[in-house]
Amino acid sequence: MIAPSKLISAAAWALAVLVAATTAAVAQYPDRPITITVGFAPGGTSDVAARILSERMTRSLGVAVVVENKPGAGGSIAAAATAHVAPDGYKIMLSDPGAFAINPIVQPQNARYNPLTDFSAIALVGQSPLILVVPTSRPFTTAAMLQDYLRANAGRATYASSGPAGISQFGAEVFLKRAGDLSAVHVPYRGGAPMMEALTKGEADFGMAVLASAVPLISSGSIRPLALAAPSATPLVAKVPLLEQLGMKGTAMTSWVIMIGPAGMPAEIVTRLNKAINEAIAEPDVRERLLKAGIETYPPATPAETGAYLKAEVERYRSYQSELGDRLTR
């Protein structure tokens, strides 16, 4: 029989070895490629931002930073995978409101993670407001004209979204609520790109699109912008009025991109990644490339500030869900 004192000594030695190994790993971080997971197919807001960031982070961190697309369930598949990887900083995620704040509230069966306890907040990156758009085949040239049409065609008018309970459906239902408790038939598509294609083809009467996805189609004349769901104007669509200016208060909604990782990441690694991301978005070239893609960068933020922002966003979407009720299940 082994003496209790020897068992304690062995356990203490094993713990010391583990602590030493962990300390060494943190000190050497990063010493192999880092993967940024994106919960959507290539070409979307998160994917574009991740690829722009990965180039700059590769240079500053001295290792390859690659992007992995893991689409499905509105980003929840990628978020669930991120929540369960080793918290060593080699697999992180560029998240959006759908995966982080909306799905866990509206579709918990598809989001088997807690957004406030299962992740480490790393850094704020940028945001892209929603914009009210219509097919150019429709006669509406102002939000008021669309509202009149919706009133006259209750139960027949339609709106497109990027998927059930996603940010574009949230945006559309908030618009309908603020525009006079109007209603329209929800036509969900499998992502932002199919939604935008449907609008160019006139398959729905309107949509609340992420500006980053809408800008190229607005520029080409494929869709018509009516109003911006943002607290302030953006140079990308400088002549488009704000919904707030049209009397629809509480309609500002943005699709943000924020870097997160699994819970339990060492503070030193989180700080290292935060520094690399803040340095990247401080560069004029990176900011310009993101802006051209429809993404406005945030001011640099600490991990603690990022965590506070994410918590506030979760609470904001909970209040939206409470207000909208069964509108989000249509």
The DSSP code for 29 is -
Q: Which residues contact 238 (CB under 8 A, 6 or more apart)?
A: none
What pLDDT is stored for residue 1 in this prediction? 59
| Sign of CA pseudo-dihedral 157, 159, 163, 166 | negative
For the segment 269-289, what is each residue's pLDDT rounded down to a tens digit? 999 999 999 999 999 999 999
With a cut of 50, which residues of the chain have pLDDT below it? 15, 17-21
User: End of a domain among 205, 223, 253?
Assistant: 253
Question: What global pTM score does this model have?
Answer: 0.84
Same domain, 242 and 209: yes
Same domain, 155 and 221: yes
Which ranges in 143-266 belong to alpha helices (H)? 143-152, 167-178, 192-200, 211-220
Same domain, 139 and 243: yes
Same domain, 141 and 200: yes
How far is it, in rounded angstroms, from Cα 25 to Cα 12?
20
**Long-range residue pairs from 137-143, CB within 8 A, at least 24 positions apart, any chain:** 137/202, 138/202, 138/205, 138/206, 138/224, 140/206, 140/224, 140/226, 141/224, 141/226, 142/226, 143/179, 143/226, 143/227, 143/241, 143/243, 143/246
Residue 310 belongs to some domain of the structure: yes
What pLDDT is stored for residue 250 in this prediction? 87
Residue 8 belongs to some domain of the structure: no
User: Exposure pattern of 112-130 as b/e (b: 16+ CB <10 Å)?
Assistant: ebebbebbbbbbbbbbbbb
What pLDDT is stored for residue 18 in this prediction? 43
User: End of a domain among 223, 253, 283?
Assistant: 253
What pLDDT is stored for residue 330 in this prediction? 64
Same domain, 241 and 304: no
What pLDDT is stored for residue 21 in this prediction? 45
Domain CATH code at residue 228: 3.40.190.10
Domain CATH code at residue 113: 3.40.190.150
Same domain, 44 and 111: yes
Of the candidates 180, 185, 131, the residue with the CA atom closest to the CA atom of residue 160: 185
Same domain, 133 and 248: yes
Same domain, 241 and 310: no
Same domain, 90 and 178: no
**Which residue type sits at 299?**
P
Residue 51 belongs to some domain of the structure: yes
Of the candidates 62, 125, 90, 123, the residue with the CA atom closest to the CA atom of residue 271: 123
**What range defines the domain where residue 85 resides?**
32-127+255-324
How far is it, in rounded angstroms, from Cα 291 to Cα 294?
5
Number of domains the chain contains: 2
CA 106, 108, 112, 117: dihedral to nearest 10 degrees? Answer: 60
Q: 86 forms bridges with which residues in the sheet?
A: none
The DSSP code for 326 is G
